[in-house]
Amino acid sequence: MASSRPDGPAAGSGGHDAVEPDPHEVARSIVLRQLTAAPKSRLQLQRKLAERDVAPDVAAAVLDRLEEVQLVDDAEFARMWVRSRAQTKGLAARALERELADKGITGDTAAEALGQLSADDELAAARSLVEAKLKTNADYTDRSVRDKHTRRLVAMLGRKGYSPSLAFQVVTEAIDALA
């Protein structure tokens, strides 16, 4: 026999109404799962909660609490992100600044994190990237070969956030050493 209420319990539920989960617990659970996978900025977590239709006031309350207990810390996230991406991808400060901004980290927090990188660090990273990509068997005395490789290497450094002047300097030095 069907339930006398039009919105009655579904078949097989044992007749008990389902209890709505606490929205704060749901949000906290989502955030903790995200943080388990990889560190995230507050903005990234806020976006994830919005995707999951968590009310903005609930999201803010949960994120505020997790900041209080330092599970969400944009400054630490930014420092770690800069170190990691500079080492693994060889990115320059300019590219890292763009990535941080995409993750909601700007201003003093971004500047402090980017302050970990010195001009010498960037120069060394650019040289390392060029050395890894430089064709040692190419005939760099041929102007067209030299120009082609210079363009490609400078473009690669540009995509990684290096200034054109630094890119040309590093590439020219590396090619001159082989020519």
Within a domain: residue 129?
yes
Taking CA atoms, 111 is separated from 52, 74, 106, 121, in Å, by: 32, 12, 7, 16
What is the span of the domain harbouring residue 100? 74-114
Q: Classify 83 as helix, strand or coil.
A: helix
Identify whether residues 53 and 38 lie together within a single domain: yes
Identify whether residues 142 and 166 lie together within a single domain: yes
Please tell me the total count of domains within the chain. Answer: 3
> Last residue of some domain: 68, 86, 101?
68
pLDDT given at position 179 = 76
Assigned token pair, 34: 């995200």
Q: Which residue has the higher pLDDT, 137 or 103?
A: 103
Name the pTM for this structure: 0.79
Within a domain: residue 12?
no
Structure-derived torsion over alpha carbons of residues 80, 83, 87, 91, reported in degrees to the nearest 10: 110
Of the pLDDT bands very low, low, confident and very high (cuts 50, 70, 90), residue 37 is very high
Within a domain: residue 37?
yes
Of the pLDDT bands very low, low, confident and very high (cuts 50, 70, 90), residue 17 is low
Within a domain: residue 2?
no
Task: Specify the length of the chain in residues.
Answer: 179
Within a domain: residue 42?
yes
